[in-house]
């Protein structure tokens, strides 16, 4: 079997992005552009992948890790010079080398595979991936002879008036015979407007050697979109979002309004789940089957099991078990673990807490650094007070307990099974099973005191009016 290699060009800084972040590290649907490219390449079962790094080399390597090897381009002297930096890793090896750019996040595995197959079918030494562009400005043009055979590739700045009018463009993706590629790279020069070593110049070298140079025209030009500024980044994101949303819908997920639904590339969603408008699903979020994700919910890096209802709420690093529900306007922060059939009502915040099966936390409550058992009722306006100004402390509430409204649990605290906290209490000591804890001042009614306060004067005026 023929060996397959890949080279990803990711050395450019991307000045037109006007950003401190290196171009290929800008994200499209939750994943950096260079990660998108590498992911699609990996699916073609490559024998070796080399990423050419330059500006931001360390950050790129931190992002991609050991999924690829790296070659450093210290000076940016053109695409031909960039590819030549991989010679120490790939030079002298037999096989086919795919070359693509790290700022083209929309290419698919299928397109790369079709290019490989076409290259082998034609017995070519080089094959360029082309497309027809209605507005080809900025792209290299494919120059063919009368028989349709590729003669050369001309960059925009070096093109004649006639060549500029050509709409078949170079997408920047190629297949090469690996040994022939590195041999030809040593023969190119930088005699052009840019003063750079163009990778495309190897095509003319191959033609002079009477080698076969082929061109495979892809069907969908939009796949080839390169991102050089924020406008293109937004356009690429929109196309990627459409692709992601369509895949989920075809897999059995209902998106009420795909145009206003934002789903990152790595999100997984089960069949028969319904996603309402304005929802954002980010990071490594996993959602099960038969869920309802209500309008304008924002869920990041969370695990949602089957049959869960989320109503206009925010989740980050949280987990909700089967048939639990939350919202509206509640917030699950990192390490929130919501058990089966748990109800989290409106305006509730949960952080680093485990809430057991069938427990209800109705509304206006903060649960932080706590373990709540099953079948507990937590009343309105309760606070699990976990911070003493220096350290965080933990509260445990046992099964079948009742926490009355407007209560404060001052951690560290242990409330046993079947315990009762009276409404309005501030609890500082442990509570034993079957006990009721009440911690509030005794009520005293002062006869006639209403008339001493300003409200009495106001009420008299209201009566006269």
The span from the CA of 384 to the CA of 391, in Å, is 14
Is residue 363 annotated as part of the catalytic site, yes or no? yes
Residue 390: φ, ψ to 5°? -135, -45
The structure tokens listed for 458 are: 């106001």
- Which DSSP state fits 140? P
Name the 3-class secondary structure at 33. Answer: helix
The span from the CA of 241 to the CA of 436, in Å, is 54
The span from the CA of 153 to the CA of 285, in Å, is 44
The span from the CA of 94 to the CA of 71, in Å, is 19
User: Are 96 and 118 a contacting pair, CB within 8 Å?
Assistant: no
What's the Rg (C-alpha) of the chain? 32
User: Are 277 and 295 a contacting pair, CB within 8 Å?
Assistant: yes
Considering 119, 296, 363, 394, which one is annotated as catalytic?
363
For 256-323, strand residue ranges (E) read 262-263, 268-269, 274-275, 280-282, 286-287, 292-293, 298-300, 303-304, 309-310, 314-316, 319-320
The span from the CA of 246 to the CA of 393, in Å, is 46
The span from the CA of 2 to the CA of 390, in Å, is 62
The structure tokens listed for 27 are: 């994200």
| Catalytic (active-site) positions | 363
């Amino acid at each position: 079997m023929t060996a397959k290699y890949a080279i990803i060009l990711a050395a450019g800084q991307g000045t037109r992005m006007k950003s401190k972040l290196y171009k290929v590290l800008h994200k499209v649907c939750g994943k950096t552009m260079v990660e998108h490219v590498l992911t699609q390449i990996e699916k073609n079962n490559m024998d070796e992948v080399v990423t050419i790094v330059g500006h931001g080399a360390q950050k790129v390597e931190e992002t991609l890790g050991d999924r690829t090897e790296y070659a450093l381009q210290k000076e940016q002297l053109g695409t031909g010079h960039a590819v030549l930096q991989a010679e120490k890793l790939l030079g002298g090896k037999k096989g086919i080398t795919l070359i693509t750019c790290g700022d083209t996040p929309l290419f698919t595995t299928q397109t790369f595979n079709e290019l490989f197959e076409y290259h082998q079918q034609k017995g070519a030494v080089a094959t360029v991936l082309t497309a027809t562009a209605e507005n080809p400005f900025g792209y290299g043009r494919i120059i063919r002879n009368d028989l349709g055979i590729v003669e050369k590739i001309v960059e925009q700045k070096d093109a004649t008036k006639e060549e500029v009018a050509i709409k078949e463009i170079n997408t920047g993706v190629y297949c090469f015979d690996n040994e022939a590629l590195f041999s030809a790279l040593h023969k190119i020069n930088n005699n052009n407007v840019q003063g750079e070593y163009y990778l495309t110049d190897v095509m003319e070298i191959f033609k002079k050697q009477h080698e076969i140079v082929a061109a495979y025209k892809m069907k969908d030009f939009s796949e080839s979109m390169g991102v050089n500024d924020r406008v293109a980044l937004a356009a690429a994101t929109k196309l990627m979002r459409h692709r992601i949303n369509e895949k989920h819908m075809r897999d059995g997920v209902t998106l009420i309004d795909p145009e206003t639904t934002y789903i990152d590339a790595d999100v997984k969603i089960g069949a028969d789940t319904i996603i309402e408008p304005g929802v954002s699903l980010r990071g490594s979020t996993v959602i099960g089957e038969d869920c309802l994700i209500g309008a304008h919910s924002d869920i990041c890096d969370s695990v949602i099991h089957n049959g869960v209802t989320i109503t206009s709420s925010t989740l980050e690093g949280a987990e909700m078990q089967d048939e639990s529900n939350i919202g509206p306007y509640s917030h699950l922060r990192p390490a929130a673990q919501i058990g089966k059939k748990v109800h989290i009502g409106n305006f509730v915040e949960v952080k680093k807490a485990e809430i057991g099966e069938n427990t209800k936390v109705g509304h206006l409550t903060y649960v932080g650094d706590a373990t709540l058992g099953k079948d507990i009722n937590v009343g309105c306006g309760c606070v699990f007070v976990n911070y003493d100004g220096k350290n965080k402390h933990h509260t445990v509430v046992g099964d079948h307990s009742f926490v009355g409204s407007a209560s404060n649990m001052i951690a560290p605290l242990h409330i046993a099974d079947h315990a009762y906290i009276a409404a309005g209490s501030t609890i500082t000591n442990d509570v034993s099973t079957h006990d009721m804890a009440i911690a509030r001042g005794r009520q005293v009614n002062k006869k006639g005191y209403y008339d001493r306060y300003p409200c009495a004067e106001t009420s008299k005026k209201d009566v006269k009016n």
